[in-house]
Amino acid sequence: DQQVKQNSPSLSVQEGRISILNCDYTNSMFDYFLWYKKYPAEGPTFLISISSIKDKNEDGRFTVFLNKSAKHLSLHIVPSQPGDSAVYFCAASSPGTGGTSYGKLTFGQGTILTVHP
């Protein structure tokens, strides 16, 4: 049961253009969403997050959009740079019983982004 899905295994874009990475989820209890970036032989690095009370969060070149009705979120990178080439993971979290469990992240399968000079 894949509760967080990234249906595009890979994405290739030209330097300077926009990169759009997509993520869908099925669990309506998820209320906090994150994007992580991962380089080979390194652990994932937190990139940006969004709470379900918002529909957009922006940090520099990175913007995350959340569409709760569609259970869909996307990460926009503008302008894309060769150093952005990495695997991007979408992740989600929900409050567990008793208000705990924000620490438990459910990840998608990842999308390999390649930005060509």
Partner 1 sequence: GAGVSQTPSNKVTEKGKYVELRCDPISGHTALYWYRQSLGQGPEFLIYFQGTGAADDSGLPNDRFFAVRPEGSVSTLKIQRTERGDSAVYLCASSLTLSAGKQFFGPGTRLTVL
The site for partner 1 (CB under 8 A) is made up of 4, 6, 32, 34, 36, 41-46, 49, 89, 91, 93, 96, 100-110
Left (φ > 0), alpha (ψ -120 to 50) or beta: where does 62 sit? beta
b/e code 19-35 from CB counts within 10 Å (16+ = b)? bbbbbbbeeeebebbbb
Dihedral angle sign, alpha carbons of residues 87, 15, 50, 56: negative
Residue 77 or 88 having the CB closest to partner 1: 88
The β-bridge relationship of strands 111-116 and 10-14 is parallel
Q: Tell me how far, at minimum, the Cβ of 114 lies from partner 1, in Å.
A: 17
Q: Which tokens hold the place of 87?
A: 């695997």
CA 25 to chain centroid, in Å, comes to 11
Q: Tell me how far, at minimum, the Cβ of 111 lies from partner 1, in Å.
A: 10
Q: Tell me how far, at minimum, the Cβ of 101 lies from partner 1, in Å.
A: 6
Residue 19 or 36 having the CB closest to partner 1: 36
Residue 13 or 34 having the CB closest to partner 1: 34
Q: Tell me how far, at minimum, the Cβ of 116 lies from partner 1, in Å.
A: 23
Residue 52 or 79 having the CB closest to partner 1: 52
